[in-house]
Amino acid sequence: MPRTKTKLFAGNRLRQLRQRESMTQAALAECIGVSLSYLNQLERNHRPLPDHLLQTLCERFALSPAWFADTREAHAVQALRETMADPIFKNAPLPLAKMVESARQSPELCEAFLTLYRAYTFDQERREHAPSASSPPPLEPYESVGNWVQEHHNYFHELDYAAEDFYETIIQDTQPLSTALVRHLQERHGLNITHSTDMHTRGLVWRIDRHKHQIQLPHDQPPESTLFFLAQIIGQLEHNRLMTDILRREGPKERNAQELARVYLGNYFAGALILPYTRFLQHAQSMRYDVDDLRRHFGVSFEQVCHRLSTMQRFGAEGIPFYFLKLDIAGNILKSFSANRFSQSRFGGPCPLWNVFRAFATPGQIQVQLSQTTDDSIYLNVARTVGREGLNYADRPRQIAMVLGCTIQDAAKTVYAAGLDLQDHTLVVPIGPGCRACGREQCSHRSLPVSGRVLDTGSNARGVVPYRAVPER
């Protein structure tokens, strides 16, 4: 296990682990071989978690070191920075160091504060657009599920192993996986595959007709989509109880969020089945994470490979920790997962300097970029458009792009670092969390002034942008 480079304060994670395992402090202390007082200090973040205890915890509870990492803290700090950029806080500025301290020492209080701020913004929107409507809940179901997935670093151990075991049981090297899945559905469940011409008009991608013992699929969908949907169906038919156990034990509590989480787990199982962990990781490493090589080898889509790469966090067999985002041409984020410190903007659109937007100008071509976020982390970003072509003149397929990113420390392990001087940061592109919260005042791409700062309108100079903020004291 690689040694941690900085002190790791993981008190909140230790408490979560104890609660999940229904253990007292005394029981956990005995389990990992430390004194009760020492464990108490660890949980209060009075002491950092040392490497040997990190390894012991991972081995005893089958966890990845990333589960204890500071990615949650980094995401909380980013959310606090964006929130505190709101003008309502201009008379109560909070230094970055205090935000970091708050996220580390009081994560539950930080989350409560962010929930309160969400409720405030929702109420402001309600008053502006629908005064007679009732106020929506502070946290939408998709936000709850997103936070829950992020807590697990987009890796679900039991489900991943179940999918891999199923793959090894049915696969035959001389037979495509799709054929094996069709045969399994016929022999195990008595379901035959039929193709329908009106599935898209009904808004369906698959349907089980139990009376006719059929699985109906669209007649014109790509083979990689068919493969994924067959894997989804098998997950629903045979592993629904496992998904229910995961949700009951540690899933979101609100009903709509639970249902969305069940859909996510079904998709996770499907991705883990068509790209089984051990085989996929071996090929990813040997191919230097070349997404096109991997999609051709496994017969899947570019998006399916990118999504799977963001889940490779199995203890003892970790891949590169990637972040993965999918968004449309308007900047709406459709999917977002991160196994590293990268955090998307919660309020406002993404930075226009991000190469994912340049990808829309070069459809189907890969764009590579080194970028630096406002916390001074440098990432290698790989972006490309995905999606289908129009079926006819009247069809308007959605324009989608995605970006896969890793830290510069892992960039050399990928084919996308070829030709890049990773030591020379001259051409690294500074990107931010959206103009409202970004503190880079000299950026010529800025569309809004920094929120919460006093504007200098009476100076004798004009800056790169038509508004200058009074320097903070």
pLDDT tens readout for residues 136-170: 455 678 888 888 888 788 899 999 999 999 999 99
CA 380 to chain centroid: 16
Instruction: Give 463's pLDDT tier (boundaries 50, 70, 90).
Output: low
Quote the longest CA-to-CA distance of the chain.
81
Among residues 114, 156, 144, 123, the alpha carbon closest in space to that of 255 is found at 144
End-to-end CA distance of the chain: 44
Token pair, residue 24, equals: 């007292």
What percent of the chain has a predicted confidence (pLDDT) above 90?
43
Q: Rounded to an integer, what is the distance from CA 321 to the centroid of its chain?
A: 11
Q: Does 391 have pLDDT greater than 60?
A: yes
242-265 residue pLDDT tens: 999 999 988 988 889 999 999 999
CA distance 249 to 242: 11
Nearest 5°: the CA angle 136, 139, 141 is 95
Percent of the chain with pLDDT over 70: 86
Pick from 252, 67, 260: which is nearest to 154 by CA?
67
Rounding to the nearest 10 degrees, give the CA dihedral for residues 178, 181, 182, 186.
Answer: 170
Whole-prediction pTM: 0.75
Distance CA 50, CA 60 (A): 16
Residue 446 has pLDDT above 90, yes or no: no
Q: How buried is residue 289: exposed, middle or buried, by Cβ count under 10 Å (0-12/13-18/19+)?
A: buried
Q: Which residues contact 393 (CB under 8 A, 6 or more apart)?
A: none
Whole-angstrom Cα distance, residue 202 to residue 209? Answer: 15
Q: Residue 238 pLDDT > 90, yes or no?
A: yes
Distance CA 63, CA 155 (A): 10
Query: How are beta strands 367-372 and 378-386 bridged, if at all?
Result: antiparallel
- Span 289-303, mean pLDDT? 96
Residues 310-323: tens digit of each pLDDT: 999 887 788 999 99
Average pLDDT, the chain: 84
Over residues 61-69, the mean pLDDT reads: 72
Question: CB pairs under 8 A, 24+ apart, for 17-20?
Answer: 17/57, 17/61, 17/63, 20/249, 20/250
Choose between 8 and 260: higher pLDDT. 260
- For residues 288 and 279, the answer to whether their CB atoms sit within 8 Å is no
pLDDT band for position 4 (cuts 50, 70, 90): very low
In this prediction, residue 455 carries a pLDDT of 65
pLDDT band at 129 (very low <50, low <70, confident <90, very high): low
